[in-house]
Structure 1
């Protein structure tokens, strides 16, 4: 055997030994996972058995829990749990601190009213449009816009040729009267002494009467324009205030020519004003002379009581409404003309079975509620409100007569309820 053949055989033997070793190693690896898997299955089965036993032992507790849940549901169903949730704790000291006032639900009277729009205007019975009454030229103006004037106070002076003629006429009539009086006295003496004829005496008497009539006529002309005899000049005309009031309009200036019918001043006595309202045709039956009303300003918190003094008998052709007004005292000029107001007219008074204060009704979760007093707190009670006059509210459903509730300061309780709900949700 050659050397080459020996090497070949040795290589074959080595390869065969190597393959046998590989085959043996592969069989050992497969048997090891199988044993591990078998052992793992055994452990899982044991664990499952243990869990089942634990679950079976715990079954009694689950049944107890179910019973408790049933009890809780029944408690919520009978309403007791709901009452506890709606209770707001409030001690007597907290009531005083928060300013909460308690009241008792009882029968009451609701005063229903009709609200009409209105406006403050000048009292036309105490408003004057001053005119010169004669043509002339303004010499001086002593009154200013907004000035308080007294009756008879000089507002302005006008120089008028017309007035000068009228005063001259009066002076001439007075001189003729003086002459007629002297002539009549002389003729009377002559007639009594049988010196002159009776006819001369009678003519003198007739002339005297005519002179007297002429004087009275001239005086009345001057009185009609508010002028009299003037020592400073025949053409000087003084324009005076007709009564105490305030100059609210002024339409003249120094040197201006004015006509006899020009409105140069408007003076109004603002110690009283009109609250003029617009009344629709459907409300005419409720608005009558003598009815009590309350006038409320829209721009600020102010109100006044009065009675209707006038209701128009005719409706406007365009608006189909009538005018009415209330005379209001105006101390301190608080009611200024031009101010918009609302006029509440008392329509009727109705007795109701149950009523509470208007401030007691609060809106919670889009529901109307009243907070009823219970032990150590309040309970939220949903109600159905009816008619209201702004002070009292009729309660149709939800309360009973004798229930004590929060009449004033109920918003504080509402705030506490809101905080409690927020904390509970959190």
Structure 2
């Protein structure tokens, strides 16, 4: 048997991964080189101009302002105030006392009740005093009878003296008897009036219109003279007693207006006027009492309430008011920067009353009501600078 050898199949070459990466890298290099060449051949864009510089800082053409940078001026009355606080006391108050001794028969009024001037608010037993009036009346009648008899005797003595039946001395005796009888009558009349007054004093009356604030006795109690019976206050007029530092007293004058508030009326402001100033300081302090008259026609306020407020020590006429932050010093003059036609303008001004506490000043001349002023110093903003205003500036006005 003859064996034949078959021819071998052609062997396919095996492609290695390293072999196909090299051509790919060469292709990418070629693409990038072509793109760079194209970029170099494209026309170059003009560069942006550099901003203008001044002193190493960019120059801004228009400044945009915020609402806190400006203020709209309005006219008003500027007030300078001095804080104060103190207690309210009734201008008129009294403790009604018994004038005569006796037992209280009637005392129906109570605390908080209104009473009229002259109204009977208590009564004392009248029996003993009524008897005393009767006794004094009898004594007056007796004295009057003695006077009548003395006058008749004197008339008879005068007739006898004319006829020389009696001596001058006898006549003088009868004349003296008349004078003594007249004196006795006057004394009896005075005693009777005292008894009647005591009887009238058994009815205890209100000395003025007001409100009962304290009842000191009850029906059935025995009173001695000068014992307290009722305390009455009149709330129509009150006095605010406030302590003020002695160093501030030169600023206070009678007639100055006062505004204050009290607890219980948070939304209401009350007013008064300085009535008196105590000439001496309070013991243990360097404060002086100022007495403020308060009209309380509606009796909303009560005695003992604590008040906090202020005295208006000075005030201006209605003038344009600007914040002190808007005032500048230039060439030893007061200047305010205003915004006119979106530009900063320097306006010299004449200032009036200042209120350092509120940070406001009144302008007498150089500024009109409604002007817009620049507050504080803004970097780079000066007269002639263009500005852009916000929607609405802050309106400044006097407080209260």
State the TM-score bracket (shorter-chain normalisation): 0.5 to 0.7
CA drift of 1:239 comes to 0.2
Counterpart CA distance in 1 for 2:183 and 2:23 is 159
Counterpart CA distance in 1 for 2:153 and 2:43 is 152
CA drift of 1:139 comes to 0.6
Counterpart CA distance in 2 for 1:251 and 1:211 is 41
Query: Against the structure 1 CA distance between its residues 389 and 201, is the aligned structure 2 distance closer, same or farther, given a 3 Å change threshold?
Result: same
> Which of the two has greater strand per residue?
2
Counterpart CA distance in 2 for 1:352 and 1:245 is 42
CA drift of 1:216 comes to 1.4
Residue 259 of structure 2, aligned match among 268, 292, 295: 295
**What is the TM-score normalised by the length of structure 2?**
0.66
Query: Against the structure 1 CA distance between its residues 341 and 191, is the aligned structure 2 distance closer, same or farther, given a 3 Å change threshold?
Result: same
Instruction: Show CA shifts across 1:98-118 (max 9, x none).
Output: xxxx96568x87432212112
CA drift of 1:392 comes to 8.4
Alignment of 1:337 onto 2:337: no
CA drift of 1:158 comes to 1.4
Q: Which aligned pairs between 1:43-62 and structure 2 lie closer than 5 A?
A: 43-53=27-37, 56=40, 60-61=44-45
1:116 aligns with 84
Query: Against the structure 1 CA distance between its residues 78 and 151, is the aligned structure 2 distance closer, same or farther, given a 3 Å change threshold?
Result: same
Residue 284 of structure 2, aligned match among 309, 313, 318: 318
Secondary structure class of the residue paired with 2:258 = strand
Query: Against the structure 1 CA distance between its residues 308 and 244, is the aligned structure 2 distance closer, same or farther, given a 3 Å change threshold?
Result: same
**Aligned-residue CA RMSD (Å):** 4.5
Residue 250 of structure 1, aligned match among 207, 215, 240: 215
Counterpart CA distance in 1 for 2:354 and 2:187 is 74
Counterpart CA distance in 2 for 1:214 and 1:128 is 34
Query: Unpaired runs of 5+ in structure 2?
Result: 1-9, 327-337, 345-352, 374-390, 395-400
Residue 226 of structure 2, aligned match among 236, 261, 275: 261
Alignment of 1:186 onto 2:152: yes
What is the total number of aligned residue pairs between the two structures?
332
Counterpart CA distance in 2 for 1:167 and 1:53 is 142
Query: Unpaired runs of 5+ in structure 1?
Result: 1-20, 89-101, 229-235, 361-371, 380-385, 407-411, 416-426
Residue 361 of structure 2, aligned match among 390, 394, 410: 394
Structure of higher RCO (CA pairs closer than 8 Å, 6+ residues apart) = 2
CA drift of 1:148 comes to 2.4
